[in-house]
């Protein structure tokens, strides 16, 4: 069957039966569309590297490709992990090639976090958003510790105002969870709703039947950072890092923060302890410390 797929902005050739079967296997395991796209791309690149179908490669050839990704392409820690996971799935889970024993090449350095912004810097970035929608979006990402895609897909019914919680539907790993909704974020969301009346999605795209896109959200963040004059690194995801670190500094426990963030392991959340003075203050929300916290002073 001839299928034309558009991936990465280009039209792909017809999909091979092997690729169709791999995609079906991932769908049966309820993998996210993004994971499926990334895994397919990695296996396709492996096939193009050797110029043969990937199911014909031997263990030492696949291992050599991993070394190539690490040493020649110098992929980041996270990208190497994703490549390794995709190859293990393809050969171990999908093809059931038990003889395919792959070893992750030793990586140079370890996974690190970007510089954590202070609360004052975060608020400067949020206030530098060019529109009420953009400022409210950035505040919601930070105040609720959301991944950018989770914030983009928020609907009015996800806001549990009485309990000061946000319900995240099908977050990473296809898991639902609840996260924190600071009173001040709720007030700004209500003001934003009164002014804009967005409709089905709290943060719609240009076409109001669709939600705000992740690319647009990243662009909003970068432009806000530039206008704010804050020196930092990384994209909009740093606001989520700041959420976790600021809560820890305010005295919240790691287990609760891990639940808010939707981490599968406490070890992931514990990384933020490196930024925290062990003499934590009494538990409170960081946004409560901001005296002049309005994000739309002129509206």
**Residue among 97, 184, 237, 294 flagged as catalytic:** 237
Distance CA 40, CA 30 (A): 15
**Residue among 153, 177, 240, 246 flagged as catalytic:** 240
97 is catalytic: no
- Using alpha carbons only, what angle is made at residue 129 by residues 191 and 187, rounded to the nearest 5 degrees? 20
**Residue among 91, 192, 221, 272 flagged as catalytic:** 272
**Residue among 172, 214, 223, 249 flagged as catalytic:** 172
For residues 144 and 181, is the Cβ–Cβ distance under 8 A? yes
Q: How far is CA 128 from CA 30, 115, 185, in A?
A: 39, 20, 17
206 is catalytic: no
The residues, ordered by sequence, that sit 6+ positions from 77 with a Cβ below 8 Å of its Cβ are 107, 109, 110, 111
246 is catalytic: no
The pairing of strands 159-160 and 10-11 is unpaired
237 is catalytic: yes
For residues 235 and 221, is the Cβ–Cβ distance under 8 A? yes
211 is catalytic: no
The residues, ordered by sequence, that sit 6+ positions from 70 with a Cβ below 8 Å of its Cβ are 80, 105, 106, 107
Distance CA 236, CA 225 (A): 10
58 is catalytic: no
What is the 3-state secondary structure of 37-76? HHHHHHHHHHHHHHCCCHHHCCHHHHHHHHHHHHHCCCCC
Three-state DSSP state, 30: coil
The residues, ordered by sequence, that sit 6+ positions from 6 with a Cβ below 8 Å of its Cβ are 12
**Residue among 19, 127, 134, 147 flagged as catalytic:** 147
Active site (catalytic) residues: 147, 172, 237, 240, 263, 272
């Amino acid at each position: 069957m001839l299928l034309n797929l558009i991936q990465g902005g280009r039209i792909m050739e017809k999909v091979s039966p092997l690729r169709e079967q791999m995609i079906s296997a991932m769908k049966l395991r309820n993998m996210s569309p993004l994971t499926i796209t990334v895994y397919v791309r990695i296996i396709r690149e492996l096939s193009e590297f050797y110029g043969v179908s990937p199911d014909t490669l031997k263990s030492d050839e696949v291992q050599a490709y991993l070394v190539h990704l690490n040493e020649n392409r110098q992929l980041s820690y996270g990208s190497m992990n994703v490549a390794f996971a995709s190859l293990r799935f393809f050969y171990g889970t999908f093809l059931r090639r038990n003889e395919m024993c792959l070893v992750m090449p030793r990586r140079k350095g370890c996974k690190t976090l970007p510089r954590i912004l202070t609360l004052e810097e975060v608020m400067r970035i949020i206030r530098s958003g060019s529109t009420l929608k953009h400022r409210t979006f950035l505040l919601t990402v930070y105040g609720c510790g959301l991944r950018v895609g989770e914030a983009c897909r928020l609907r009015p019914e996800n806001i549990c105002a009485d309990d000061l919680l946000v319900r995240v539907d099908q977050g990473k790993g296809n898991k639902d969870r609840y996260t924190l909704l600071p009173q001040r974020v709720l007030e700004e969301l209500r003001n934003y709703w009164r002014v804009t009346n967005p409709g089905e999605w709290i943060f719609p795209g240009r076409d109001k039947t669709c939600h705000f896109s992740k690319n647009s959200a990243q662009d909003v963040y970068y432009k806000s950072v530039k206008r704010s004059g804050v020196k930092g690194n990384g994209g909009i995801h740093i606001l989520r890092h700041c959420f976790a670190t600021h809560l820890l500094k305010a005295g919240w426990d790691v287990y609760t923060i891990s639940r808010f963030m939707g981490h599968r392991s406490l070890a992931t959340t514990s990384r933020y302890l490196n930024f925290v003075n062990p003499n934590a203050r009494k538990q409170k929300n960081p946004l409560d410390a901001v005296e002049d916290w309005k994000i739309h002073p002129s509206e």
